[in-house]
Structures are given as C-alpha cells and as structure tokens.
C-alpha cells in the first residue's frame, strides 16, 4: 500500500467511524422517541375512545327517551329496539341490548343471537362475558374489556365495551370498539418512526458519500498537484542532467581536439621526420627501419582519426558552427558511408534553435541511427525536418524488420535508449511518438513554439 493511499484511508476512516457513530445514535434516539410517543399517544387515544363510547351510549339513550311517555310500552320497546338497531357507525360499530337475565334483545350484526339466553356465555379463558356486562351496568355503567366475534372478519378479538342500564325498562344498552384499532395505531406510529429512521439513514448515507467523494476529490487533486510538481521537478532535473552531460561532453571534446589531437599530430610529424632521415641513410636494416616507422605513422594516423571521431561524437562542431541541418546532414553521410545504407535528408530550411533544443534533437537522431545500425536490418533511412512558426516536426523512418514495442518497454535494460530519447523530448515539452511494425519503424517528434524560442 503506497503512502498516498494510506493518507487517504487515514482521512476517510475517522470520517466513516464518526458518521457510523452518529447514525447509531440517531437510530437509537429515534426509536426511543417513537416508543415515548407511543407511550404518550396510546393513553390519550384510549381515553378518547372511552369518552367516545360513553358519548355514543348517551346518544342512544337520548334517542329512545321520548318513547317512555307512550301508553303502549310494548310498542315503545319495539320502536326503541328499531332505533337502536339503526344507530350503527363504521364497519363494526353497533349497539347491543340485553335484559338483566342475559337474554339478547337486539344485535344488528348477529341477528341469530336475538332471543337467546347468553347468561352462561364464556370466552376461551372461561371468563363470563354477559354476566360482566350486566354487572357493570347495574353498578352505574362503565367499561368492560371482553372477547367477542368480529362480524367483518369472523374472528374472536378483544373488544372494549361501555354499558349503561336503561332504568325504565331495565335494559343493558352498550356498544364497543375492537382493540386492534389500538394495535393499528401503535403499528402506524412504529411504521412512521421506521420511515423517519430510514429517511434519516438515507440522508446520512448521502452526506457520507458526498463527504467521502469530496475527500477523495481533494486527495486526488492534491496527489495530482503533487505528482505534477514532482514531474516538473524531475523534468527540470533531467534537463539539468542533460545540460551537464552536454557541457561535460563539450569540455572533453575540446580537450581531445585541442590537447590529445595536437599531441598526436606532433608525434606523427616526428615519426615522418624520422622516416625521411632513415630513408636518406644507408646500411643494413634500413628497409626494416623504414617499414617500422611507416607502420608507426599509420597507427598514429588511425589513432588520430579515432580521437577526432570520438570528439565529433561527443560534441560535433558543425552543430555549434553551422546549425542543426548541417550537423544532421554530416551525421547521415557518415552513417551511410559506415553502414552502406541508403540515407536521405529532407529539410526545408535550417531553423535557428536554442542550444538545448538542437542538442536534444541531434542526440535523439544519433540514438535512433545507432539502434537502426544494430537491430533494424534496414536498407533505407529517411530523416525529415520541417519547421513552422507554431511547431517543429522531425521524423526518422526506416524499412527494417521492426520490433515489439510493448515487450521492449517492459524490459528496463533494453528500453533505456528509448526512454532516454522520450525523456529528452518530453523535458522540452514536446511529443515523442514511436511506431513499429513489420514494414519498419518510425519516430515522430513535435516541439511546440514555446520550446523553439531562444
């Protein structure tokens, strides 16, 4: 794991831990708030339902009170039951009427119960139902929780009833609500709390993602800035190294040309003088001495030529005196004479370039020709130099066998020359493109106008 990734993780990890802790606290507090709301709302809702039930029974008693004055009490009771039978509300809201002995007088949802004696009716737990309703009514009315069949679902469910005693006829009149309404209310509160928690978690997740994205973008921008700064420093350092190398090469070339070459020329002249004097002498051994001195002069001539070649390779004088076009032409001619390849230079003019630019282009061409000589097995080499106000373009093309460019780059030792060529051009802000195929190899170099200014 590199340092940049470690720094990014160190920045993101505390953020994730903090947000996870906040999310946990929010979830716990939201659930606690929902429970507190349930504890607060349910008693109020239950009290409201109790008040509502008492109000319904009071309305029912008021609806039949005017019938007490009728002469025919039998008709009055019948009309009262009819009125109560019609006073239903909601899906499962209705009134029921029993006498004090537990006989059902009216049940609008379960008419089969009318006329039956239900005094001994008990629920599954053995608790008497009608007896408790009658007893509560005799005590002045009140609330009774009991189990009863729900007409809309045909299931036995818990029900909260309110009953009162009709004193004139001795009826037990009541109504009730099924307590699953309370459970539904609790469920609604829980669902609302769950939705709120989920929405909060989504918001926290979005905020987390946004924060991580901002951190990542900032880290990427910082890394990119650092990388660009490092690359700029590396390019400047590479440029400085190249300049130092060229300066040292120029110094060595001058030393070879002005020092070693001059000394060798002096020695050559001495040998030639000795050779002439030996030629004017007689005696035995004269021919052998002349032959030896001739070989010495020839060897000195070869050494002098090699020193001049090395001096020229280190720093060609044509590059400084005549410009890039002349130096390239001289190098191509020497290359053609040495290798026997057909060489061609296409140059429209001799551009005036800064010293580092001309040197970089010269060295790239020099390295390319060396590679062609060693590996390409080419028969033709073409060098094109075009200069425009906005850019300079140089191409080197050969018809050799080509090579696998990716495999060469993958081998650090084999790709040093290519890497050096690319770095020389990219240090100047230029573009270096190399293409290789079975038809040959081409190198294209483009330098912008900013690199061509003196």
* pLDDT category of residue 167 using cuts at 50, 70 and 90: confident
pLDDT in tens, 279-307: 666 555 666 677 777 777 777 777 777 77
CA gap 152, 146 in Å, rounded: 17
Please calculate the CA angle 440-443-449 and round it to the nearest 5 degrees: 160
The candidate with the shortest Cα–Cα distance to 105, out of 136, 132, 83, 138, is 83
Tell me the residue ranges of DSSP E strands in 246-390.
Answer: 342-347, 380-387
C-alpha span between 112 and 275 (Å, rounded) = 153
* Confidence label for 180 from pLDDT (cuts 50, 70 and 90): confident
Judge whether 13 lies within some domain.
no
pTM, 2 dp: 0.44
Out of 120, 143, 178, a domain closes at 178
The verdict on residue 374 lying in a domain is yes
Flag whether pLDDT at 261 surpasses 70. Answer: no
User: For residue range 402-435, what is the model confidence (pLDDT) as tens digits?
Assistant: 877 666 665 655 556 788 888 888 888 889 999 9
Q: Which residues pair with 97 in a beta bridge?
A: 106, 173
Domain range spanning residue 448?
322-452
Question: Do the domain assignments include residue 3?
Answer: no
Examine the pLDDT at 202 and tell me if it is beyond 80: yes
Q: What is the CATH number of the domain that holds 353?
A: 3.30.565.10
Q: Is residue 255 part of a domain?
A: no
Q: Label residue 354 by pLDDT band (50, 70, 90).
A: confident
Q: Return the residue matching tokens 């008040």.
A: 51
For residues 375-395, give the mean pLDDT.
90
* For residues 442-446, average pLDDT: 93
Q: What six digits make up the tokens of 6?
A: 């470690």
Name the helix (H) or strand (E) containing 114.
Answer: none
Is there a domain that residue 74 lies in?
Answer: yes
Alpha carbon dihedral 265, 268, 269, 274, in 10-degree steps, equals: 170
In contact, 443 and 396? CB cutoff 8 Å: yes
pLDDT at 358 over 80: yes
Centre a 10 Å sphere on the Cβ of residue 98 and count the other Cβ atoms it contains. Answer: 24
* d(C-alpha 180, C-alpha 442), whole Å: 86
Q: Evaluate whether residue 272 is within a structural domain.
A: no
Give tens-digit pLDDT for 13-26: 777 787 788 878 88
Residue 255 has pLDDT above 70, yes or no: no
When the pLDDT of each residue in the chain is averaged and rounded to a whole number, the result is 81
The answer to whether residue 185 is domain-embedded is: no
Q: Which residues have CB under 8 Å from 145's CB, separation 6+?
A: 158, 159, 160, 161, 179
Q: Is the pLDDT of residue 86 over 80?
A: yes
Residue ending a domain, choose from 152, 178, 204:
178
Q: In angstroms, how far is the first alpha carbon of the chain from the final one?
A: 45
The count of domains in the chain is 2
Confidence at residue 133, expressed as pLDDT on a 0 to 100 scale: 94
Q: Which of 178, 196, 225 is the last residue of a domain?
A: 178
From CA 348, how far away is CA 325, in angstroms rounded?
9
Residue 164 belongs to domain with CATH number: 3.30.450.20
Residue 170 reports pLDDT greater than 70 = yes
pLDDT at 161 over 90: yes
166: Cβ contacts below 8 Å, ≥ 6 apart: 61, 64, 172, 173
Does 280 reside within a domain? Answer: no
- The pLDDT assigned to 176 comes to 92
Whole-angstrom Cα distance, residue 402 to residue 392? 26
| 283 CB burial (10 A radius; 0-12, 13-18, 19+) | exposed
Predicted confidence (pLDDT) at residue 70 exceeds the cutoff of 90: no
How many helices and strands (H and E) does the chain possess? 12, 10
pLDDT at 200: 83
């Amino acid at each position: 794991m590199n340092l940049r990734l470690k720094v990014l993780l160190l920045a993101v990890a505390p953020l994730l831990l903090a947000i996870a802790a906040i999310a946990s606290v929010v979830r716990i507090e939201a659930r606690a708030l929902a429970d507190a709301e349930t504890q607060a709302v349910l008693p109020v809702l239950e009290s409201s339902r109790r008040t509502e039930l008492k109000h319904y029974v009071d309305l029912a008693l008021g609806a039949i009170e005017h019938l007490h004055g009728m002469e025919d009490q039998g008709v009055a009771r019948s009309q009262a039951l009819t009125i109560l039978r019609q006073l239903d509300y909601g899906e499962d809201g209705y009134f029921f009427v029993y006498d004090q002995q537990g006989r059902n007088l009216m049940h609008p949802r379960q008419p089969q119960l009318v006329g039956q004696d239900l005094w001994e009716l008990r629920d599954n737990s053995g608790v008497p139902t009608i007896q408790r309703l009658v007893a509560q009514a005799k005590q002045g009315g009140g609330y009774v929780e009991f189990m009863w069949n729900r007409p809309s679902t045909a299931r036995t469910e818990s029900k909260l009833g309110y009953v009162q005693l009709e004193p004139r006829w001795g009826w037990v009149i009541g109504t009730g609500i099924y307590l699953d309404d309370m459970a539904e209310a609790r469920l609604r509160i829980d669902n609302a709390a769950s939705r709120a928690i989920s929405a909060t978690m989504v918001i926290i997740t979005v905020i987390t993602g946004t924060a991580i994205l901002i951190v990542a973008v900032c880290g990427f921008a910082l890394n990119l800035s650092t990388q660009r700064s490092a690359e700029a420093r590396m390019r400047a350092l590479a440029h400085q190294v190249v300049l130092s190398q060229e300066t040292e090469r120029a110094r060595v070339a001058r030393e070879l040309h002005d020092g070693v070459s001059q000394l060798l020329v002096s020695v050559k002249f001495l040998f030639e003088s000795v050779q002439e004097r030996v030629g004017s002498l007689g005696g035995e051994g004269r021919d052998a001495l002349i032959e030896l001195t001739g070989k010495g002069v020839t060897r000195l001539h070869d050494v002098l030529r090699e020193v001049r070649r090395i001096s020229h390779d280190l720093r060609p004088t044509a590059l400084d005196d005549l410009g890039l076009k002349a130096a390239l032409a001289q190098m191509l001619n020497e290359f053609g004479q040495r290798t026997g390849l057909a060489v061609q230079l296409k140059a429209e003019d001799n551009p005036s370039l800064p010293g580092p630019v001309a040197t970089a282009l010269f060295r790239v061409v020099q390295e390319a020709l060396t590679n062609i000589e060693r590996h390409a097995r080419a028969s033709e080499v073409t060098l094109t130099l075009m200069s425009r106000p906005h850019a300079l373009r140089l191409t080197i093309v050969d018809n050799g066998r080509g090579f696998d460019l990716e495999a060469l780059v993958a081998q650090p030792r084999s790709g040093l020359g290519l890497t050096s060529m690319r770095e020389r051009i990219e240090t100047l802000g230029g573009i270096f493109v190399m293409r290789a195929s079975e038809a040959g190899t081409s190198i294209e170099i483009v330098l912008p106008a900013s690199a061509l200014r003196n």
